[in-house]
Amino acid sequence: MKSRSSRSHGSRVVVTLVLLAAILGAEAPASGSTKTLKRSVGNILQAPLDLVLSPTVALVSVVEGMREHDDPVPLRVAFFLPGVVWNTGVNFGASLIRLVTGGLELIPGVALLPFAADTDPLFSPVESAFALFETETSCCIDVKFGIDYTGSTKHTRHTNRTRHSTAAD
């Protein structure tokens, strides 16, 4: 014979699963927004790629900075390695911040699904900084990783994308 507590527990599980299925299966209003949730999931999934690419992004950033400035050659040589190490650390730390803010935006992103409301990004460099790889999609998360969080890389592709998006507004 089953004890009363095991039957009670089993019925609670069934009721919880039925309620969860009803909530997930219910259609959300057409005016709902997924922007915050998409940004959150994108940050969580792509932050590890930023971590791995931190040394590469730092190297690109320092080389681009050397091309933009007219510093003497001995100064460039002296500051090359410390610059790469510093930028690697900054990009690594900012990648961790991207991961944490993705997690912080996850709950509001789910909570805002039925509403036509969004939250502002908690970590805006992801939106505006240069990235080694970047593409916008209309169906799912925007792909952007290998971000230069130092803001020192001014790449032509990033500048052109910014111009196009401003002209369209």
How would residue 124 be classed by pLDDT, with cut points 50, 70 and 90? confident
Cβ pair 152, 65 in contact under 8 A: yes
Please check whether residue 10 lies inside any domain of the structure: no
pLDDT tens-digit readout, 24-67: 555 544 556 788 888 889 999 999 999 999 999 999 999 988 88
Say if 24 falls within a structural domain. Answer: no
Number of separate domains in the chain: 1
Mean pLDDT over the full length of the chain: 79
Please report the pLDDT score of residue 111 as a whole number: 86
Question: Is 89 contained in some domain?
Answer: yes
Q: What is the pLDDT of residue 7?
A: 62
How is residue 160 written in tokens?
């052109």
Asked if the structure places residue 7 within a domain, the reply is no
Element (H, E) at 129: none
Residue 74 to residues 10, 67, 79, 92: CA-CA distances in angstroms? 75, 14, 9, 28
- Burial class of residue 166 in the structure, from the number of CB atoms within 10 Å of its CB (0-12 exposed, 13-18 middle, 19+ buried): exposed
Q: Does residue 12 lie in a domain region?
A: no
This prediction has a pTM of: 0.67
Whether residue 1 lies inside any domain: the answer is no
Q: How far is CA 124 from CA 1, 7, 101, 149, 151, in A?
A: 60, 51, 10, 10, 12
pLDDT above 50 (res 169):
no
Range of the domain at 37: 31-168
Q: What are phi and psi of 154, to 5 degrees?
A: -115, 90
Highest-confidence range of 21-35, 68-82, 153-167, by mean pLDDT?
68-82
Domain for residue 19, yes or no? no
